[in-house]
């Protein structure tokens, strides 16, 4: 005799409904009343339990008649324990057996001993797959004339790079010395992303890439003749000077100095001019590993980049000097210069500084 109906209206005695819990029945998320096509009661012989979305219900429940599963639990991939079929256990033991089967397949735990309420442990969502970088190859050898039929591909690469940089992304670019990683110097999140993907110490500075010599005066306090700047820039050098208030305070916050780059590379000059702002620039490699002369050499970084501009092989790749990067010169002290990194243009740079402009060598002061 039915003492009272389960809340799902399956006409099952409350003590034998497998899905009955402290929340009141097996139909917590189901319609409050069954469809007229579903009778409220079913012969006892048909009241075999089934699995639906990790919840155990009797066949007399309207939810079971929504189909999709069977007694074997094959829809969930659950394997029920032997002897757990109808008529072989008490309702209480059937409930425990079914809970154990579901727990094995979908992480349903019965909770502490003696507890009748279950808890669903959701497995952690898998990390989204890295989308990987978009690769754009520059036409020609890296210098395209304005009337060249290859100009369309050149412009496409420039527009794509500018769009990614303005969105706060990190872009791989060719320069006159090595492949580099560039981001907007005004975007603090992008600066952090560069340090993170390189595994670079945040105590090491990033250089600033500009498009014109005239831009140097906006971001630096220049204490050398303009002719000296024009003799060295564009070129394979990084000139270190006192920074101005125009630069993002999160860019190298540990030093009052900044290194300025204007690569002798047509694409980089066009990119900096079209971007209309300072670009933070560093080499495209993991910290302490060899610098890159082609895009294949830093393929491990591609999944963390938004765009890779392929400008072909840089240098001959044979001489050891080709991977030294730019020559870094400290010009923050009037009348003196300091070589912070010899780089690939040491001799020609020191000759200009000493012989043409009479600067005296000093100890490096750029961190």
pLDDT digits over 231-282, tens only?
999 999 999 999 999 999 999 999 999 999 999 999 999 999 999 999 999 9
Burial class of residue 154, CB neighbours in 10 A (0-12, 13-18, 19+)? buried
Q: Are 284 and 178 in contact (CB under 8 A)?
A: yes
Distance CA 258, CA 192 (A): 17
Burial class of residue 3, CB neighbours in 10 A (0-12, 13-18, 19+)? exposed
Model's pTM, two decimal places? 0.63
Give percent helix, percent strand, percent coil of the chain, each to the nearest 5: 25, 15, 55
Q: Are 117 and 55 in contact (CB under 8 A)?
A: no
Number of other residues whose CB lies within 10 A of the CB of residue 155: 13
Fold for domain 134-361? DHBP synthase (3.90.870)
Strand ranges (E), the chain = 50-52, 55-57, 108-109, 119-120, 134-137, 171-174, 179-184, 207-209, 220-221, 237-243, 257-261, 279-283, 307-310, 327-330, 336-341, 360-361
Q: Max alpha carbon distance in the chain (Å)?
A: 110
pLDDT over 90 percentage in the chain: 55
Looking at residue 362, what is its pLDDT? 87
Residue 281: strand, helix, or coil: strand
Residue 128: strand, helix, or coil: coil
Contacts of 340 (CB under 8 A, 6+ apart): 240, 328, 329, 330, 364, 366
Q: Which comes out higher in pLDDT, residue 183 or 84? A: 183
Query: 6: which 2 tokens?
Result: 């389960």
CA dihedral sign of residues 334, 338, 340, 342: positive
Mean pLDDT of the chain: 74
Q: Which residue has the tokens 């980049």?
A: 305
Burial class of residue 229, CB neighbours in 10 A (0-12, 13-18, 19+)? buried
Mean pLDDT (whole number) for 350-360: 96
């Amino acid at each position: 005799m039915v003492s009272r109906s389960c809340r799902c209206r399956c006409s099952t005695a409350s003590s034998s409904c497998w899905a009955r819990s402290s929340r009141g029945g097996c139909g917590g998320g189901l319609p409050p009343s069954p469809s007229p096509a579903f009778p409220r009661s079913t012969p006892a012989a048909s009241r075999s339990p089934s699995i639906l979305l990790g919840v155990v219900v009797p066949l007399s429940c309207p939810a079971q008649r929504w189909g999709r599963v069977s007694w074997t639990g094959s829809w969930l991939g659950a394997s029920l324990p032997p002897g757990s079929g109808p008529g072989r256990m008490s309702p209480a033991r059937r409930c425990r057996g079914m809970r154990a089967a579901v727990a094995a397949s979908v992480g349903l735990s019965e909770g502490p001993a003696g507890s009748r309420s279950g808890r669903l442990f959701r497995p952690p969502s898998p990390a989204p797959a890295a989308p990987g970088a978009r690769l754009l190859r520059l036409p020609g050898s890296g210098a395209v004339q304005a009337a060249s039929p290859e100009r369309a591909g050149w412009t496409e690469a420039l527009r794509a790079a500018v769009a990614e940089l303005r969105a706060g992304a990190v872009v791989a670019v060719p320069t006159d010395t090595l492949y580099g990683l560039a981001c907007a110097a005004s975007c603090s999140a992008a600066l952090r992303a560069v340090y993170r993907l390189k595994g670079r110490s945040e105590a090491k500075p990033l250089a600033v890439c500009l498009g014109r010599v005239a831009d140097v005066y906006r971001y630096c306090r220049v204490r050398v003749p303009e002719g000296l700047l024009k003799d060295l820039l564009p070129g394979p050098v990084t000139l270190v000077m006192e920074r101005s208030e125009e630069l993002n305070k999160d860019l190298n916050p540990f030093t009052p100095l900044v290194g300025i780059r204007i690569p002798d590379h047509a694409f980089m000059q066009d990119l900096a001019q079209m971007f209309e702002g300072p670009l933070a620039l560093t080499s495209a490699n993991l910290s302490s590993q060899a610098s890159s002369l082609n895009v294949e050499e830093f393929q491990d970084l591609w999944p963390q980049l938004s765009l890779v501009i392929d400008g072909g092989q840089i240098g001959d790749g044979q001489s050891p000097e080709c991977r030294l990067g730019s020559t870094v010169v400290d010009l923050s002290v009037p009348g003196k210069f300091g070589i912070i990194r010899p780089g690939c243009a040491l001799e020609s740079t020191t000759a200009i500084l000493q012989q043409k402009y009479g600067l005296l060598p000093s100890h490096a002061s750029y961190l």
